[in-house]
């Protein structure tokens, strides 16, 4: 059996996502951006408006995952408000963040 490259969990046959961490198994494009905390919300808003983003992962300068935003969150404005509030808290904690963007093929 194949293993998830993110968490190492055994993947069932034909799985599109890891059952433990939710990371896509067959993703094609993964981009990383390093931004200062003051630019974080603006960059995330910009990325959510792009049509081919599947997931956005925000990590601090030590590599700890602070927030994961699924692509569907960008589809509904009311749903995105709590995510942006969480980004405000992250801005207060971290000085630099790495944004990992997972896109559709």
Give the least confident one: 1-10, 11-20, 68-77, 85-94. 68-77
Q: How confident is the model at residue 2 (pLDDT cuts 50, 70, 90)?
A: confident
Q: Are 29 and 105 in contact (CB under 8 A)?
A: yes
Residues 6+ apart with CB under 8 A from 32: 98, 99, 100, 101
Q: Is residue 54 scored above 60 in pLDDT?
A: yes
Global pTM reads 0.62
Residue 59 burial by Cβ neighbours in a 10 Å radius (0-12, 13-18, 19+): buried
Per-domain boundaries in the chain: 29-103
């Amino acid at each position: 059996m194949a293993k998830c490259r993110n968490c190492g969990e055994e993947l069932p046959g034909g799985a599109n996502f890891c059952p433990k961490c939710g990371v896509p198994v067959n993703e094609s494009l993964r981009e990383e951006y390093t931004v200062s905390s003051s630019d974080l919300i603006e960059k995330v808003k910009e990325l959510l408006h792009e049509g081919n983003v599947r997931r956005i992962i925000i990590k601090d300068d030590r590599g700890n995952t602070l927030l994961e935003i699924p692509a569907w969150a960008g589809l509904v404005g009311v749903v995105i408000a709590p995510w942006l509030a969480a980004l405000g808290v992250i801005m207060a904690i971290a000085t630099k963040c790495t944004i990992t963007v997972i896109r559709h093929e």
